[in-house]
Chain A
Amino acid sequence: MPRSDLEMTVGDMLRQHGISRRGFIKFCTAAASAMALPPSVGVAMAEQLIHARRPSVLYLSFQECTGCLESLTRSFAPTIENLIFNVISLDYDDTLMAAAGEAAESARMQAMQDNFGKYVLIVDGSVPTGAGGAYCTAGGRSAVETLREAAKGAAAIVCVGTCSAFGGIPFADPNPTEAWPVMAIVGDKPIINVSGCPPIPEVITGTLLQFVTTGKVPDLDEHRRPKVFFGNTIHDRCYRRPFYDQGKFAKSFDDEGARNGWCLYELGCKGPTTYNACATVKWNGGTSFPIESGHGCIGCSEPGFWDKGSFYAAQSTALWGKAGESSPREVLELSASAVAVGGVIGVASAGASRLRQHRSAQDADQRDSNGDN
């Protein structure tokens, strides 16, 4: 009797697609190396996965730009097609799935019912709560309502992108839609934040694969990001770090320093305060990363990165007002006002001091004249 898709193990699916066990071990080893794990773990992952049922995964898109999904579809190790055809059962993704409308929503409800307590919920985008959640609705239901419902039966929630992890652009001041990150709304489920705008594709797939393989939430940092990918700053692993140590900084994007590949710190690079794997895993199958292309890191995987000042101001510089950059004119105005006030206080205190001295001299004269009399 043929087994249904839900009953089939990953091994069954692989055999059905003509993929050998050896080929699958190679795939898992590549994924393990992307996560900086030893090759032996790749073998263990493969053995585990071959006998496991493909876990159901639901992908919810809220207040987002679809950049994260675009990024995910460019994963090289593992590739997205390998992941969704062989490792996971992507039961709902309103952008990728062929079904739409009522059929799509029914598929989601069915998957949630069949896999209650076991499915992985991926959330992309922040959750607007303003105007009763009306800023983001699908099928007549608000994002916040859908999230709360879907979170109930999830084994874990993977927040893909800075919007779902930390609020991202919608959360930035003045946050007109009253957007929140997922962890501000769901408090009783394991949450893994895979931040970035967008996140590195291999970091998304690697995190998913690690959870699916082990069934455990990986070691997380204080922002609930997997330490394996977010354990170091970009600066720590940057190939331009020696130039920082030598004090060689590009002063503009087209000067000799920039052409020589010097450090971009003074041009606003946020590498020293940004935790991500850009400098090691890189992008487009390991081709390069923003700093390698000549632009400083904008710190997109950090909470509140839109509100931390200009992307082009060094981190040691002053943050002045909402624009985030100090202007010498504003500094001069503030300093001049403070000097004027200080000057007035100084003149007043000197005047008071002279008055005291004058009075005490008068008192002394008075005493002297009284003594003479």
Chain B
Amino acid sequence: MDLLGFARGPALKAALAIFCLGVAWRIAGFALLRIRRDLNKPRASPARFLTEGLIAVGTRSWPHPEFIGRTGAGEALGYSYHLGLFALVLLFGPHIAFFGSLIGIRWPGLPSSLITVISVLTLALFLAVLFRRVTNPVMRMLSNFDDYFSWFITMLVLGTGLAATAHIGAPYQTLLALHILSFDALLVWFPFGKLMHAFYIFPSRAINGALLARKGATS
């Protein structure tokens, strides 16, 4: 079996199994955490908790007007590269074929040349994000190995994918194998690092909003 066959076959299978196992483990562990009983009298109805929780998902996903001057640029950067990643992952023909082979559904994609442009822009945004993280004293203090490794592994997938599409540096099959292997590595790392925010981000915002509503505050 060659490297590409290994990456698309046994390595992908193992990575997917670890990904599913890890995500289920983390979510089950998170959902069943002991929550301290709040003995205070609720300031709103349970329906209100739910509504405020859902509203918080929206309001916390946008900078607060008071802080927009300070956090707006960072949030724009974050949103931009996330949108770039979504476009690359979900709208590139070979990726659609990949997901189609796994889940049996396919959808229309974007032209490969446009995908290449988005890749380069996303790559630049990724570098900008790293630059911001290492130059901003607060961000640097908050960052640990998890942040840098999550950045690195995502960048690896992006970089090898771009190289494979553009046929840069090595034969296509080698680059494609490295791209798929790096994706396999990302799947393995995903549940155990900060990439897991993809699953946690909206539930945690909703829970915060609901808890604040219970205390009579709005988020």
Q: Indicate if the CB atoms of B102 and A334 lie closer than 8 Å.
A: no
C-alpha gap A184/B13 in the complex (Å): 31
Within 8 A of B (CB), among A315-373: 315-320, 325-328, 331, 334-335, 337-343, 345-347, 349-351, 353-354, 357
Q: How far is the CB of B60 from chain A (nearest CB, A)?
A: 26
A299 to chain B, nearest CB (A): 10
Complex interface: chain A residues within 8 A of B73 (CB): none
Q: At the interface with chain B, which of A68-76, A149-157, A198-206, A305-313? A: A305-313
User: B172–A272 contact, CB under 8 A?
Assistant: yes
> Of the candidates B9, B28, B30, B103, which one forms a contact with A328 in the assembled complex, judged by CB atoms under 8 Å apart?
B103
Q: Does B24 contact A (CB under 8 A)?
A: yes
A206, B104: Cα distance in complex, Å:
45
A316–B29 contact, CB under 8 A? no
| Bound form: Cα–Cα A109–B26 in Å | 73
Q: Which residue of A lies closest to B161 (CB)?
A: A316
Which of B4, B9, B27 has the most chain A CB atoms closer than 10 A to its own CB? B9
Is B78's beta carbon under 8 Å from chain A? no
Q: Is A266 an interface residue (CB 8 A)?
A: yes
Contact with A along B83-103 (1 / 0, CB 8 A): 000000000111101101111
Instruction: Please give, as numbers and ranges, the residues of chain A lying within 8 Å of B112 by CB-CB distance.
Output: 244-247
Q: Closest CB of chain A to B35's CB: distance in Å?
A: 11
Asked whether B185 is an interface residue with its Cβ less than 8 Å from the other chain, the reply is no
Query: B172 contacts A235, CB within 8 Å?
Result: yes
Interface residues of B in 177-215 (CB under 8 A from A): 180
> Does B106 lie at the interface of the complex (its beta carbon under 8 Å from any beta carbon of A)?
yes
Selected contact of B29 from candidates A266, A337, A350, CB within 8 Å:
A350
Contact of B5 among A309, A340, A346 (CB under 8 A): A309
Chain B residues in 8 Å Cβ range of A328: 102-104
Do the beta carbons of A342 and B101 come within 8 Å of each other? no
Instruction: Output the least CB separation between B29 and chain A (Å).
Output: 4
How many chain-B residues does the 8 Å CB contact rule pick out?
52
Bound CA span A352–B125, Å? 42
Residues of A within 8 A of B12 (CB): 318-319
- Partner of A334 from the list B16, B103, B109 (CB cut-off 8 Å) is B16
Quick one: which of A37-67 are within 8 Å of B by CB? none
**Residues of the B chain whose Cβ atoms lie less than 8 Å from the Cβ of A314:** 94, 97-98, 101
B170 to chain A, nearest CB (A): 12
Whether a CB of chain B sits under 8 angstroms from the CB of A82 is no
* B34–A318 touching, CB < 8 Å: no
Asked whether, in the complex, the Cβ of A316 is within 8 Å of the Cβ of B5, the reply is: no
Q: Is A265 an interface residue (CB 8 A)?
A: yes
Chain A residue numbers with a CB within 8 Å of B104 are 327-328
- Residue A273 lies at the interface, judged by CB distance under 8 Å to chain B: yes
Given A247-B111, A346-B27, A339 and B5 touching (CB < 8 A)? no
Q: How far is the CB of B154 from chain A (nearest CB, A)?
A: 18
B153 at the interface (CB under 8 A from A): no
Q: How far is the CA of A246 from the CA of B93 in the complex (A)?
A: 10
A346 and B26 form a contact (CB under 8 A): yes
How far does the alpha carbon of A310 sit from the alpha carbon of B176 in the complex, in Å?
17
Contact bitstring B101-136, A, C-beta under 8 A = 1, else 0: 111101001111111000000000000000000000
Q: A325-B101, A346-B24 are in contact. List 12 more A-B contacts (CB 8 A).
A: A246-B112, A248-B111, A266-B94, A309-B8, A316-B95, A316-B176, A319-B5, A331-B102, A335-B16, A338-B20, A345-B25, A350-B32
Q: Which residues of B contact A (CB under 8 A)?
A: 1-2, 4-5, 8-9, 12-13, 16-34, 92-95, 97-98, 100-104, 106, 109-115, 167, 171-173, 176, 180
Sample (14) of A-B pairs whose CB atoms are under 8 Å apart: A235-B172, A245-B111, A272-B176, A273-B172, A304-B2, A307-B1, A313-B101, A318-B9, A339-B21, A342-B22, A342-B23, A342-B26, A345-B21, A346-B24
Closest A-B pairs by Cβ, 8 of them: A346-B28, A342-B24, A350-B32, A338-B20, A317-B101, A328-B104, A316-B94, A342-B21
